[in-house]
Amino acid sequence: MTPKTLLVVYHTMTGGTEQMAQAAVEGARDEPGVHVRLLRAPEAQPQDVLGADGYVFATPENLAAMAGLMKDFFDRCYYAALDRVSGRPYAVLVCAGSDGQNAARQIDRIATGWRLRAVAPALIVCTHAQTPEDIARRKQIGGADLARCRELGGALAAGLALGVY
């Protein structure tokens, strides 16, 4: 059987989203038969999207939206992947200061255009950062939240390995 590839694309400025993405990668790497690739959003290219069998998109919530560099990733890759990735599974991670729902909704709308299949509800970790100092401060994601990210990565990778997706 040909190994499957899980692509994790993320952006971070204060480290929270990177910790979440790394945890998802750790969980996914425990699954034999799945190659896991972790790319920062500015590095990810259309061929990376086309070469993957499943995806985790991880973004901070910035001004009640996905991060601009995540939007840039989707802008650069959208049309090259359109009608070429239909049915592939994806999941969303959001590191939020308040609720993160709009950032998740934005990614879900793009994924709908690509006709991807959501395999889990968006996993949103709220840091409650509300002051300029707290927003800019380096984030530390708690162990329970990182465990949820690991489980999501592991479950997505297991589904790919088993041919469920």
pLDDT in tens, 78-134: 999 999 999 999 999 999 998 999 999 999 999 999 999 999 999 999 999 999 999
Which of these, 116, 126, 106, lies nearest to 156 by C-alpha position?
116
Q: Is 91 left (phi over 0), alpha (psi -120 to 50) or beta?
A: beta
Q: How crowded is residue 93: how many other Cβ atoms within 10 Å of its Cβ?
A: 32
Q: Which two tokens stand for residue 8?
A: 């994790």
* Average pLDDT over all residues of the chain: 97
pLDDT value of position 1: 67
State the Cα torsion 147-22-13-131 to the nearest 10°. 10
* Beta carbons within 8 Å of 49's beta carbon, 6+ residues apart: 7, 55, 77, 80, 81, 85
15-32 burial: b if 16+ Cβ within 10 Å, else e: bbbbbbbbbbbebbbebe
Cα–Cα distance for residue pair 85/25, rounded to 1 Å: 21
